[in-house]
Amino acid sequence: MSGMSGAVRLRSPEELAVTVRDDVAVLTLSRPEKLNALSRDMRRDLAGLLRHYGDGRKVRGVVVTGRGRAFSAGMDLREATDGQLDLQAEMDLFNEVSRAALGAEVPVVAAVNGLAVGGAGELALSFDARLAAPSGGFAWPENGVGLTVSNAASLFLPRLAGASRALDLLLSGARVDARQGRDLGLFDDVVEPDALVPAAVGLIHRWTPPGSSTAAHLRLLRPSPHEVEEAMARESAAVRQVQASGIARAGLARALAGPAG
C-alpha cells in the first residue's frame, strides 16, 4: 500500500511501507539512504498507523521493522536543527508513537534488523517484544551530545535491564549488539535476517489464539498509563533543562559536524 492505508493518509508514504502479512500489519521504515532516520512526518505516520491497526478489529498484531542495514538512526538531526530548536516538540512526536503502541489492543513487536539509535531504540523499548537479527542492536548516545532520553525510556530500560545496567548504558552510550541485548533482557530472541519478520509474526500468532483475552492481559502487564506519563513528564523537564542551558545545541552542532580532524 502507498499513500493510503485503510483510513490513514500517510504524510511520507515513500518512507513508511505498510503490508498485511498473515493477519499482522508490518510497518517498515523505508528511508535506508538516511539509515531510516525518523523525520517528523514518519513519527506522525507511525503513531497514526499504530492507532489504526492497534484497535483490535483489523489485525492480530503489528510488527515494526526497518529496510536496509539499520532499524533506525533515531531523530533526524538535520531536520531537528533546521530553524528554531524545539527539542520538546521533537520529544512529543516520539512519545506519541509509544503512547499509540501502549494503547494498542493487539501486541506490538519490534523486528530490529539493524542498529536502533537514540529515540528509535527508546520507542522499541515500549513495545511488547523485541526480536533482533544478528546485526541488530541498540545505542543511546544522548548523554554524550547533551540530549536526554524520551519515550519513557527512563521507566522501560531499568524495567528490562535493571537499574544499574540502565544507568551504565545511558551514561556511557555503549553500543549493545544483538546477543548482548538478549542477555540483558532487551531482546527476546535473536534470529536470522530472513526469519526476522516471520518470527515476529509467529510470536503474535502464538500470543493471539482464537477466543483469547490477549487485550486484557496486555493492559494488565504493560506499565500503567500513569507510570508512563509520569516518566515522560520527567523526561520533558530534563529536555527543557538541557535546551535552556545550551548543552543540547552545542552537542547537536558537534554531532552534525562529525568526527574532528
Residue with grid cell 538512526, as numbered in its chain: 73
% of the chain residues with pLDDT over 70: 95
- Residue 259 — very low, low, confident or very high, per pLDDT cuts 50/70/90? low
Q: Nine-digit cell at 230?
A: 509520569
Q: Judging by DSSP bridges, how do beta strands 137-139 and 176-177 pair with one another?
A: antiparallel
Distance from C-alpha of 15 to C-alpha of 199, rounded to nearest angstrom? 23
Residue 5 is predicted with a pLDDT of 59
User: To the nearest whole number, what is the mean pLDDT of the chain?
Assistant: 94
Give pTM, 2 decimals.
0.94
Q: Nine-digit cell at 158?
A: 531499568
Average pLDDT in the 122-145 region? 97
Distance from C-alpha of 184 to C-alpha of 187, rounded to nearest angstrom? 8
Out of 15, 96, 142, 235, the active site residue is: 142
- Residue 150 — very low, low, confident or very high, per pLDDT cuts 50/70/90? very high
132: which DSSP letter?
E
Long-range pairs of 27-33 with CB within 8 A, sequence gap ≥ 24: 27/53, 27/62, 27/63, 27/64, 27/65, 28/64, 28/65, 28/66, 28/67, 29/64, 29/65, 29/66, 29/67, 29/71, 29/72, 30/67, 31/67, 32/66, 32/67, 32/68, 32/69, 32/70, 33/68
Beta bridge partners of 111: 65, 131
- Verify whether residue 90 is a known catalytic residue: no
Q: Nine-digit cell at 63?
A: 510488527
Residue 12 is predicted with a pLDDT of 87
Q: What is the pLDDT of residues 166-208, one digit of tens each?
A: 999 999 999 999 999 999 999 999 999 999 999 999 999 999 9
- Residue 1 — very low, low, confident or very high, per pLDDT cuts 50/70/90? very low
- Residue 134 — very low, low, confident or very high, per pLDDT cuts 50/70/90? very high
Q: Which domains are seen in the chain, by residue range?
A: 4-257 (3.90.226.10)
Distance from C-alpha of 110 to C-alpha of 128, rounded to nearest angstrom? 8
